[in-house]
Amino acid sequence: MTLLDIESISKRYGPVQALDTVSLSVRPSSRTAIVGPSGSGKTTLLRIVAGFEFPDSGRVRLDGALLADGPASVPAHKRGIGIVSQDGALFPHLSVAENIAFGFERGAPDREKRIADLLEMVELDGAMATRRPHQLSGGQQQRVALARALGRRPRLMLLDEPFSALDTGLRENMRKAVSRVLQAAGITAILVTHDQSEALSFADQVAVMREGKLVQAGSPETLYRHPRDRETALFLGDAVLLPAIVKSGFAECALGRVAVEGDHAGKAEIMLRPEQIRVVTDADEPRYGGRVVDVQFGGATCTVAVALAAVALPPILIKTSSVALPAPGDLVRLDVAGTAHVFSR
């Protein structure tokens, strides 16, 4: 069952193909994160779903009802979709309370209580209700915009980088709070973000966009472990990429014999996530090892650069705990946990 169906949407602005036959389905009460480089079409896609922009071709359905069929379209205010845009877009001449109440039905009797509840939900002090947007920080404005969108009790909430103006700690708190609020209210959400860890932890489904195309969509774990291509792999986290010869479920590579999934055979490029590789320092005669060329202390997690003995590749970077850190010059063995991913070309 799906709530939202985006079917083969294309959109062009003059010479720019902002979206190229993008299809994506979203299940009810789920959370989808859309990631991709700047200019890849993320905002355009959300604006088409919200009804602020019209596709050249393709369809959008919500709960089976057709919202857009090419340029023919149901107006935005009749879609039951909330949107928090990249810039917040509050009404500058209205107070915080008036901004939040803007989406309420006419003459809503419990207006004051709802405003107070919504402010609490987005963790803003009730005393801010009388302020104007210009008297708020960027992060506070984004939270008011979120409260306003929630006030409409939408079936689907579109969030375009709503946490980007917040610092790391507050950002994580807000993300969790918003997740809770949306889940409690059973609101399906689509979040656009530049932050891969935000995407992987927020979403049930991650969709990766590049140059107007949807490259891959799936569970966070599937995308992280089995990215379609190296760009997607690197977009979602650090990766160690190695040439290999694959045969019968194993890859022969600079790290030795590493198990792989799938039935690929022949020359290939394999990928390991750095946390799959363990640096072993007490090896007397390191087989398939390397030499530590650099150690970067980073508190709980440190980065060790190892030049592989077997191949002329740039040193690989391995994240390791700060306990028993090797020193530059040490010979080490590299143990691999789990399976490597093979890019099929």
Ligand X SMILES: Nc1ncnc2c1ncn2[C@@H]1O[C@H](COP(=O)(O)OP(=O)(O)OP(=O)(O)O)[C@@H](O)[C@H]1O
Sites of contact with ligand X (CB under 6 A): 13, 16, 18, 36, 38-44, 86
Under the binding rule (CB under 5 A), the answer on residue 43 touching Mg ion is yes
In the complex, the smallest distance separating the C-beta of residue 165 from ligand X, rounded to whole angstroms, is 14
In the complex, the smallest distance separating the C-beta of residue 10 from ligand X, rounded to whole angstroms, is 12
Q: Whole-angstrom Cα distance, residue 83 to residue 157?
A: 6
Q: Is the dihedral of CA 25, 29, 30, 34 positive or negative?
A: positive
Q: 111-121 and 138-151 are packed helices; what angle lies between their axes, rounded to 10 degrees?
A: 130
Q: Which does 95 bind (CB under 5 to 8 A by kind): Mg ion, ligand X, none?
A: none
In the complex, the smallest distance separating the C-beta of residue 35 from Mg ion, rounded to whole angstroms, is 11
Question: What residues have CB less than 8 Å from 311, skipping those under 6 apart?
Answer: 242, 243, 254
Contact status, residue 274 vs residue 317, Cβ threshold 8 Å: yes
Q: Which is nearer to ligand X, 39 or 338 (CB)?
A: 39
Q: Which is nearer to Mg ion, 161 or 330 (CB)?
A: 161
Stretch that binds Mg ion, among 36-44, 88-96, 101-109, 332-340 (CB under 5 A): 36-44
Q: Which does 16 bind (CB under 5 to 8 A by kind): Mg ion, ligand X, none?
A: ligand X
Residues 82-141 that bind Mg ion (CB under 5 A): none
Candidates 172, 183, 176, 234; CA nearest to 35 is: 234
In the complex, the smallest distance separating the C-beta of residue 171 from Mg ion, rounded to whole angstroms, is 17
In the complex, the smallest distance separating the C-beta of residue 326 from ligand X, rounded to whole angstroms, is 39
In the complex, the smallest distance separating the C-beta of residue 42 from ligand X, rounded to whole angstroms, is 4
Q: Which does 38 bind (CB under 5 to 8 A by kind): ligand X, Mg ion, none?
A: ligand X
Q: Which is nearer to ligand X, 18 or 295 (CB)?
A: 18
Q: Which is nearer to ligand X, 11 or 273 (CB)?
A: 11
Q: Whole-angstrom Cα distance, residue 203 to residue 180?
A: 12
- The token pair at 268 is 């290939």
Under the binding rule (CB under 5 A), the answer on residue 44 touching Mg ion is no
Sheet holding 290-296, edge to edge: 277-280, 331-336, 290-296, 301-308, 316-321
Burial 284-296 (b: 16+ CB within 10 A, else e): eebebbbbbeebe
Q: Which is nearer to ligand X, 12 or 153 (CB)?
A: 12
Q: Give the interface with Mg ion as residue ranges (CB under 5 A).
A: 43
